[in-house]
Amino acid sequence: MRNRVVIRYSESFKHQVVSDLESGRFSSVAAANRHHGIKGSMTVKNWVVRLGKNQLLAKVVRVEKPDEAGLVSGLREEIAHLQRALGQTQARSLLNESYLELACERLGEEVDAFKKKSAGKRCIDPANARASKRRRKGKRSV
């Protein structure tokens, strides 16, 4: 097991780093981290927040068109709806698979054998079944 080294910084050191940021000696928190060899990316940020100097932290300003905000929330809602639908579909698929296993067990057949045997007989849409039947009849008479 490796020994972790925990570095504790004194209060005066913390104040010095934050005051250097405030005076403009460092252009960013990352520059102060690099200069002092502080490995934690959030360490100096936490010091700045704790000392009430939030104005020193970089701010993210997002500029967007008025319709973009609604678009993003609409897309998030659609993603949530699709995830729920996918979950329901997966649940139905598992349920159908279980029904198939039960039916095969009652018939005394293996599931894989039943699937192979019935692969050519499957048709979901009755209208397509009639159309394909008509096509097959037409091919035989030619």
Query: Is 75 found in the same domain as 46?
Result: no
pLDDT value at residue 142: 44
Domain assignment present for residue 6? The answer is: no
Domain, as residue range, for 117: 66-137
pLDDT value at residue 55: 84
Domain assignment present for residue 88? The answer is: yes
Query: Is 77 found in the same domain as 20?
Result: no
Query: Is 133 found in the same domain as 81?
Result: yes
Query: Is 132 found in the same domain as 72?
Result: yes
Smallest Cα–Cα separation from 54: which of 43, 46, 63?
46
Q: Per the structure, how many domains does the chain have?
A: 2
Query: Is 44 found in the same domain as 89?
Result: no
Smallest Cα–Cα separation from 35: which of 24, 26, 46?
26
Query: Is 37 found in the same domain as 79?
Result: no
Query: Is 75 found in the same domain as 104?
Result: yes
Residue 56 near residue 24 (C-beta atoms within 8 A): no
pLDDT value at residue 95: 95
* Spans of the chain, pLDDT less than 50: 141-142
Other C-beta atoms closer than 10 Å to the C-beta of 2 total 4
Pairwise CA distance, residues 72 & 98, whole Å = 39
Domain assignment present for residue 21? The answer is: yes
Domain assignment present for residue 82? The answer is: yes
Pairwise CA distance, residues 108 & 89, whole Å = 28
Domain assignment present for residue 20? The answer is: yes
DSSP 67: H
pLDDT value at residue 123: 57
pLDDT value at residue 67: 78
Query: Is 131 found in the same domain as 85?
Result: yes
Q: Residue ranges of the alpha helices (H) in the chain?
A: 11-23, 29-36, 43-50, 66-107, 111-118, 126-141
For the chain, the farthest-separated pair of C-alpha atoms sits apart, in whole angstroms, at: 98
Domain assignment present for residue 107? The answer is: yes
